[in-house]
Amino acid sequence: MTVFTVLIGMSSAQADDLSQCSQSFYGGVYPEFTNSKLSNNTQALCMDGFAVMYSGVSRTPLWSAEYLDRKRLQQAKEIDREDSFHEESRLPKSMRAKLSDYSGSGYDRGHLAPNGNMANRSQQYDSFSLANIAPQSPRNNRYIWRNIESATRYLTQQYGEVYTITGVAFTSKKTKQLADNVLVPSHFFKAVYIPASNQAGVYYAPNDESERIDVISLDELTAKIGIDVLPVLDAQAKAQAFDLPLKAGDSSDLPETPQEEPVWMLFVLAIIDWLMAQLQA
């Protein structure tokens, strides 16, 4: 039995009304717990530009939800990064992660809803709330997850819009803790839904230095973590994993386009056309 399992018997906090930030969820429907124990001592938070389900047990978010489109990503490109990690004042002190929890821990403060998706200063500030942060392996955060975030933005540019749910899982028999408070996730995931094609897939990676990552279906994710992150989708979309790119701009990910003839070939063809015209004259 993990530490996380033992602690989830604590009472639940009063949650915000997620209907206030329904635009972050496809169809306005937010994730559902299939393992009801996980909902204990949780707090839903409507942030500027995204939504969070925070756990007072792990003192991390369980998931963060975003709606992305081309306009938002263009606005995000125009804002430089300003780090402003801070404790979440809307949470009871008994539930909050503290900045000191991460000090000297050996783990990065990993964003679930990334700063790179934030279209204005208010959204950017909210993304640095510890309610949107979980302990993340440095190599996972700086390489694997950075690529995944870029690939998700790439898919948004390609298809026009996506809905994404990013979260953590606690599946290890022994759960690590930071400063005896914040629990360290065993895995990170990012579920991506593309409305234009009604397809979805999930990036699922161990929270370690292995650089391993799998692409799985929504049904597989639900079985692993006890949360249906996109409950409104049909059975086929949940059962079949869309072949998500592992980094932005892979040549294999780009749509096929007709190959242009080289300039010298166009010149030769023009001469042939001229000769044919002379013979027919």
Per-residue DSSP letter, 103? T
For residue 146, what are its two tokens? 């950075």
CA distance 46 to 174: 32
Half-sphere exposure of 121 (CA within 13 A, CB side): 1
Q: Please check if 141 is assigned to a binding site.
A: yes
Sign of the CA dihedral running 76, 77, 79, 80: positive
Give residue 34's region: left, alpha or beta (phi > 0; psi -120 to 50).
alpha
Of the listed 111, 187, 190, 238, which one is catalytic? 111
For residue 197, what are its two tokens? 């094609």
For residue 88, what are its two tokens? 């979440």
CA distance 136 to 106: 9
The Cα angle at residue 41 between residues 39 and 47, in degrees rounded to 5: 85
Q: Report the Cα–Cα distance between both ends of the chain, in Å, rounded.
A: 90
Does the annotation count 111 as an active-site position? yes
Beta strands 199-206; 133-136: pairing state? unpaired
Phi/psi of residue 6, nearest 5 degrees: -65, -40
Who contacts 157 (Cβ-Cβ below 8 Å, separation ≥6)?
70, 73
Q: Which residues are annotated as a binding site for Mg(2+)?
A: 141
- Residues with catalytic function: 111
Q: Which residues are annotated as a binding site?
A: 141
